[in-house]
Amino acid sequence: MITPRIEIDLEKIAHNAKALIDLYGSKSIHVIAVTKAVRGNPDIAKTLVKSGIEILADSRIENIKRMYNAGVQAQFLLTRIPAISQAEAVVRYADISLNSEISVIERLSAYAIEYDKPHKIILMLELGDLREGLMPSDLDDIVKQASKMEGIILAGIGSNLACFGGVIPDEENMGTLSSIATDLEDKYELKLEFVSGGNSANYNWFMSTQDVGRINNLRLGESIYLGCETLSRKPIPGLYTDAMTLVSEVVESKIKPSLPYGTIAQDAFGNIPKFVDQGQIRRAILGIGLQDVQVSGLTPRADIEIIGASSDHLIVNAKDLELNIGNELEFDLNYAALLSAMSSQYVNKVSSARVNAHEYCERVEQDYRRHLQLLPGISINEDHSPLLNLNESGFNLMFEPSSQQGYQFMVREAVYEKIGRISKHLDMEDKTLWLRSAWRSYEHQRLLWQERVASLHTEYPKKELNEIEELVSYFIAPPNKSMHATGGAVDALIYDLKSDSIMRFGTNDGMKINLNDKCYPYHPYITPEAKNNRKLLIGLFEAEDFVVDLKEYWHFDYGNISWSIGKGKDQAIYGMIEV
């Protein structure tokens, strides 16, 4: 799979959200989930809503629009004080916003009237952290003006602590917020929907207090995604702390000195680096750097040491771990690292639940075993249609070089016509069908089988031949059972002419495919980009009555016995042929 990437375990996030809803609900405090750190990721947002979250909060209107456009069914709260230039977008996409400036509230009122969409505001109070918020002495004047504005609903008051100044939420400042809420309601005959005490930093106050007062709401992000409170970053009992995993790949691994040699000046970021002399070390470089993530917030799960980073490279001391090129390493992230990695366009985001992926693979294996049992019972009513050469078709196609000298991409006549229509469809999208394989002779298939057996025997010298052949059979059919011998099977990817490259399908690097269970066509644990690309590829072939292979997203069958099983038919029209 493509690296670097963030692997997002949705089930663990769901567990944490439900646990925190129950925890704070025990004292009548409702939870708003903050999606800022995950950049409004729609998969995460939908998971939070399914877990019982009714309001999602984000500091960027762009992230709220992303969730809104993805069909996330929730109310949206803008947590950053709105810019007056964004007032129209705030009213259009957010239901609630945090505010401290009367001129901005006036602009929100104007757009609320224009769009006939009432907008709720929560007035933020300054309680010591010195970030956003009104001084309590200025509150009365703002309340008087805001409560008279058409289209504006004064829905509550709130505070934000431990974000800028590091001020701890405690009995005193939470008590002050509660008292102000009570005074406002009595003075102006209001009923405040929200008395929002803060964020994940409020956990210790909540656990220690006997009376939460009027505080009925908290805005939580870090404790949901990373399972910790934010004053000392201690894990919250019962929560997962590994729902988010950063994965990066080894791009260099060598024995080198631990100290740079030569005259030392500033590094690329203006710092003068310092290093500890550890002699010769096993020094590995990973394909991720400061342009991708805040490296100081990473903790390796393996016993290695992070030495430092440049823009594009992370340098580690592998210690006793023998790291080879292509090996992947996993890291835990703190909040700053999570925020930077999720915001980076260079880090792939993979949303899935590991349990679901496991269940999916189990289901594929069961379906494959059933498929093998059904194969002998399918009869063949051969239509004797000829093989035609796609190399000479004139269709806009690209052909993968074959290890077989003079290999021709031959398919049955009906398949030939279907490929032509697929090709024309891709022409309209500036894409081209990349053909990997078509008809194969018995001899061709035998050589592929033998090459793979030899390769795995080298990789696993202690395995018996029958064990090796079982591994090979996961992705290569025995010579006498290959659907490619029927002329009805095609292996294909898609080439994007705009990027001048083969599209990413989750397990491929160009035309090279890494064979593993993520090759199963609908594996949930691949990137959104790979899912979309597979959807396009599979959709094109299914529209032409092909069936996609159970284990290979690039393999498509028509007319042969695999196609018959996939379509629920009793007969195939293509048997195996030799030319």
Q: Could you list the residue range(s) of the whole structural domain that residue 28 is in? A: 9-225
**Pair of tokens at residue 566:** 């996939």
Would you give the DSSP letter of residue 161? -
Last residue of a domain, one of 320, 351, 382: 351
Among the listed residues 428, 440, 561, the one whose alpha carbon sits nearest the alpha carbon of residue 490: 440
Q: Is residue 317 part of a domain?
A: yes
Identify the bridge partners of residue 255 per DSSP, sorted by sequence position. 282
Last residue of a domain, one of 225, 259, 294: 225
Task: Please work out, in degrees rounded to the nearest 5, the angle formed at the alpha carbon of residue 209 by the alpha carbons of 207 and 214.
Answer: 110
- Phi, psi (deg, nearest 5) at residue 527: -70, 155
Residue 452 covered by a domain: no
Q: Are residues 177 and 253 in the same domain?
A: no
d(CA 551, CA 356): 17
Q: Are residues 203 and 266 in the same domain?
A: no
Same domain, 190 and 284: no
Tens place of pLDDT per residue across the chain (579 aa): 678 999 999 999 999 999 999 999 999 999 999 999 999 999 899 999 999 999 999 999 999 999 988 889 999 999 999 999 999 999 999 999 999 999 999 999 999 999 999 999 999 999 999 999 999 999 999 999 999 999 999 999 999 999 999 999 999 999 999 999 999 999 999 999 999 999 999 999 999 999 999 999 999 999 999 999 999 999 999 999 999 999 999 999 999 998 888 888 888 888 888 888 899 999 999 999 999 999 999 999 999 999 999 999 999 999 999 899 989 999 999 999 999 999 998 998 887 655 467 778 888 888 888 888 888 889 999 999 999 999 999 999 999 998 777 889 999 999 999 999 999 999 999 999 999 999 887 677 666 666 666 776 676 787 777 776 666 565 566 666 788 889 999 999 999 999 999 999 999 999 988 888 899 999 988 888 899 999 999 999 999 999 999 999 999 999 999 999 988 888 999 998 876
Are 278 and 404 members of one domain?
A: no
Indicate whether 40 and 54 sit together in one domain.
yes
Residue 80 forms part of a structural domain? yes
Residue 147 in domain: yes
Separation of alpha carbons 142 and 140, rounded Å: 6
| Rounded Cα gap, residues 117 and 555, in angstroms | 51
- Structural domain contains residue 235: no
Burial of 488 (0-12, 13-18, 19+ CB in 10 A): buried
Would you say residue 363 lies in a domain?
yes
Residues facing 368 on adjacent strands: none
Residue 76, phi then psi, degrees to nearest 5: -120, 135
List, by residue number, the catalytic residues: 36
Same domain, residue pair 397 and 254: no
Instruction: Look at residue 120 and tell me if it is in a domain.
Output: yes
Tell me how far apart the alpha carbons of residues 434 and 341 are, in angstroms, rounded to a whole number.
33
Beta strand 5-9 with 194-196: parallel, antiparallel or unpaired?
Answer: unpaired
Phi/psi at 436 (nearest 5 deg)? -95, -35
Q: Are residues 404 and 502 in the same domain?
A: yes
Q: What is the CATH number of the domain that holds 213?
A: 3.20.20.10
Spatial contact of 151 and 157, defined as CB atoms under 8 Å apart = no
What 8-state DSSP symbol labels residue 228? B
Name the residue with tokens 């908290």: 218
Residue in 360, 350, 326 with CA at minimum distance from that of residue 509: 326
